[in-house]
Structure 1
Amino acid sequence: MGYTDEDIEFANLILTDRGNLDDAKVEVWMKDPEHVMLLKEFATVYQKRMNIDFNRDKKEEFARLENTIQERKSRRMTLRWSVAASVILFIGLFVGRMVNEWRNLDEMRMLAETERIVPGVKAELILSTGERVVLNQQCVSIEGVNETGIQNDSVTGLNYTTAKVQGEGMIYNTMRIPVGGFYQLALSDGSKVWLNSMTEFRFPVAFTGEERKVYLTGEAYFEVAPNSKHPFIVVTEEGMEVKVYGTEFNMNTYQHGVVQTVLVSGKVGIRVNATGKEVMLAPRQMAEYSEKTGMVRVEDTDPYRYIAWKDGEFVFERETIEEIMERLGRWYDVKVFYENESLKQKRFTGVISRYEDIEQVLRLIEGPATLRFEVKGNVVTVKYGQ
Structure 2
Amino acid sequence: MKYNEKDIEFANQILTRRNKLDNELVEAWMSNPLHVEMLKEFVAIREEYTNWDFEIIKGEERERLQRAITRKKKRQLVMRWSVAASVILCVALSALYLWNDSDWFFEQKFPQQANWEQGKLAEVELILADGKRVPLGGSGRQIQDHGVFGIKDDSLQGLTYVQAKALDEKVTVVLYNTLKVPTGGFYQLELSDGTRVWLNAESELRFPVQFGTGEREVYLKGEAYFDVRKDVTRRFIVHLKESNVTVLGTSFNIKAYGDEDYIYTTLVEGKVRFTSEKEHEEVTLRPGMQSVLNLKSGKTELKEVEVEQFTAWRQGRFVFPSTTLGDLMCQLKRWYDIDVVYLSPEAKGYEFRGAINRDMDLKNVLAIVEKTSNVVFDINGRTIKVTIKNE
TM score, norm. by length of structure 2: 0.71
Letter matched to residue 262 of structure 2: V
Partner residue, 1:253: 256
Contact 2:118–2:335 at 8 Å: present in 1 too? no
| Structure 1 CA distance for aligned equivalents of residues 79 and 381 of structure 2 | 28
Contact 2:237–2:246 at 8 Å: present in 1 too? yes
| TM-superposed deviation, 1:315 | 0.8
| TM-superposed deviation, 1:91 | 1.7
| TM-superposed deviation, 1:385 | 3.0
| Structure 2 CA distance for aligned equivalents of residues 295 and 383 of structure 1 | 34
| TM-superposed deviation, 1:295 | 2.0
| Structure 1 CA distance for aligned equivalents of residues 337 and 271 of structure 2 | 35
Contact 2:224–2:254 at 8 Å: present in 1 too? yes
Aligned counterpart in structure 1 of residue 189 of structure 2, from 165, 174, 185: 185
Contact 2:320–2:355 at 8 Å: present in 1 too? yes
Percent of residue pairs bearing the same amino acid type: 35
| Structure 2 CA distance for aligned equivalents of residues 151 and 114 of structure 1 | 27
Classify 1:315/1:289 alpha carbon distance in 2 versus 1 (closer, same or farther; 3 Å). same
Which residues of 2 match residues 134-213 of structure 1 at below 5 A?
134-165=135-166, 166=168, 167-213=171-217
Letter matched to residue 266 of structure 1: G
Which consecutive residues of structure 1, in runs of 5 or more, have no partner in the other structure?
A: 1-32, 42-68, 98-111
Cα shift readout 1:104-157 (whole Å, capped 9, x = no counterpart): xxxxxxxx999728xx54311001110100112411111122422101112321
| Structure 2 CA distance for aligned equivalents of residues 193 and 94 of structure 1 | 36
| Structure 1 CA distance for aligned equivalents of residues 351 and 379 of structure 2 | 20
The answer to whether residue 241 in structure 2 is matched with residue 241 in structure 1 is no
Contact 2:237–2:247 at 8 Å: present in 1 too? yes
| Structure 2 CA distance for aligned equivalents of residues 114 and 336 of structure 1 | 18
| Structure 1 CA distance for aligned equivalents of residues 118 and 272 of structure 2 | 34
Compare 160-169 and 179-188 and name the one that shifted more.
160-169
Partner residue, 1:284: 288
Letter matched to residue 216 of structure 1: L
Partner residue, 1:116: 119
| TM-superposed deviation, 1:89 | 3.9
| TM-superposed deviation, 1:183 | 0.4
Cα shift readout 1:205-224 (whole Å, capped 9, x = no counterpart): 11102201000000000011
| Structure 2 CA distance for aligned equivalents of residues 199 and 265 of structure 1 | 23
The answer to whether residue 72 in structure 2 is matched with residue 91 in structure 1 is no
Contact 2:118–2:336 at 8 Å: present in 1 too? no
Partner residue, 1:298: 302
| Structure 2 CA distance for aligned equivalents of residues 174 and 183 of structure 1 | 13
Contact 2:263–2:292 at 8 Å: present in 1 too? yes
Partner residue, 2:329: 325
Compare 163-172 and 298-307 and name the one that shifted more.
163-172
Contact 2:116–2:336 at 8 Å: present in 1 too? no
| TM-superposed deviation, 1:317 | 2.0
Partner residue, 2:368: 364
Q: Which protein has the larger Cα radius of gyration, Structure 1 or Structure 2? A: 2
Compare 257-266 and 192-201 and name the one that shifted more.
257-266
Letter matched to residue 247 of structure 1: T
Partner residue, 1:379: 383
Classify 1:148/1:274 alpha carbon distance in 2 versus 1 (closer, same or farther; 3 Å). same
Classify 1:90/1:284 alpha carbon distance in 2 versus 1 (closer, same or farther; 3 Å). farther
Classify 1:35/1:345 alpha carbon distance in 2 versus 1 (closer, same or farther; 3 Å). closer
Cα shift readout 1:11-37 (whole Å, capped 9, x = no counterpart): xxxxxxxxxxxxxxxxxxxxxx99994
Secondary structure of 1:73 counterpart: coil
Cα root mean square deviation, aligned: 2.7
| Structure 2 CA distance for aligned equivalents of residues 327 and 36 of structure 1 | 21
Secondary structure of 1:382 counterpart: strand
Contact 1:121–1:182 at 8 Å: present in 2 too? no
| Structure 1 CA distance for aligned equivalents of residues 343 and 201 of structure 2 | 27
Cα shift readout 1:319-355 (whole Å, capped 9, x = no counterpart): 1111111111111111111121111111211111111
| Structure 2 CA distance for aligned equivalents of residues 186 and 34 of structure 1 | 31
Letter matched to residue 163 of structure 2: T
Cα shift readout 1:27-56 (whole Å, capped 9, x = no counterpart): xxxxxx999948845xxxxxxxxxxxxxxx
Contact 2:118–2:358 at 8 Å: present in 1 too? no
Secondary structure of 1:180 counterpart: coil
Letter matched to residue 196 of structure 1: N
| Structure 2 CA distance for aligned equivalents of residues 95 and 267 of structure 1 | 45
| Structure 2 CA distance for aligned equivalents of residues 312 and 356 of structure 1 | 10
| Structure 2 CA distance for aligned equivalents of residues 320 and 342 of structure 1 | 11
Classify 1:377/1:113 alpha carbon distance in 2 versus 1 (closer, same or farther; 3 Å). closer
Which consecutive residues of structure 2, in runs of 5 or more, have no partner in the other structure?
A: 1-64, 98-114
